[in-house]
Every structure is written in C-alpha cells, then in structure tokens.
Amino acid sequence: DEYHKFCEANPIDAAKLTYRKFKTDYFKDYTAEKKYIQRRPERLQMLANLISKPTKNTLVLLPNIAFGRAITKLIPNAVFFYGADSKAVRKELYKSFEEEDNIIAI
C-alpha cells in the first residue's frame, strides 16, 4: 500500500525503485517496520474487526502494552489486562472466562 502511494506520488523515482529496495529503505530495521505495523490505523481496525467477532471467549496475546491498548480501544466491551495488574484483577478475569461467554481479553 505504501509502496503504491510512493509510486503514484513519485513516478520518476519509482521507475528506478523496486519493491524490495523501497521496503529496505523505508523500514531501515526491524523496529521501524514493527512500529509501522503496530501503529497503522487501517491495520489496527482490521485486527479489531477480526477479534470482535468471537463465537466463544477470546484471549488475544500481543507483543507489547501500547499495541494491546490500541486494539482494546477499538473493540467494544474488550478487557485489557497485563502483568502489572494485581493478582485479584487477573483472578476476576479468569473467573469471568469460566462463567460467561463472548469475553474478549487482550
């Protein structure tokens, strides 16, 4: 998507640029690519749409807190929890999983 936008906006430069070269230059390292993937609103919404259609309880594990919070904001009634939450909070969530249906925990 970004590659095509670049090509449309810069046709002369794009003629000399392959997708592989664009990706290498645009995402200089793993961290840059990860930030792009985890912060892109269209991708966050797509993931939220997939996650928000549970048929049973759903536990979503994500690589970091900011990413988890961003996804949780897009899903009505989703619950965000992480390691710094107290044992009581986590226990309550586990109990909810046993007693209720269609819980989304991130």
Which pLDDT tens digit goes with each residue over 85-94?
A: 999 999 999 9
Instruction: Write the pLDDT tens digit of every residue in 31-55.
Output: 888 888 888 888 899 999 999 986 7
CA distance 106 to 99: 18
Phi-psi region of 77 (alpha: psi -120 to 50; beta: other; left: phi over 0): left
* Domain containing residue 28: 2-37
Q: How many CA atoms lie within 13 A of 1 on its CB side?
A: 5
Same domain, 33 and 48: no
- Mean pLDDT of the chain, nearest integer: 87
pTM: 0.71
Residue 12 has pLDDT above 70, yes or no: yes
Same domain, 32 and 58: no
Same domain, 90 and 62: yes
Residue 106: the pLDDT is: 95
Residue 1 has pLDDT above 70, yes or no: no
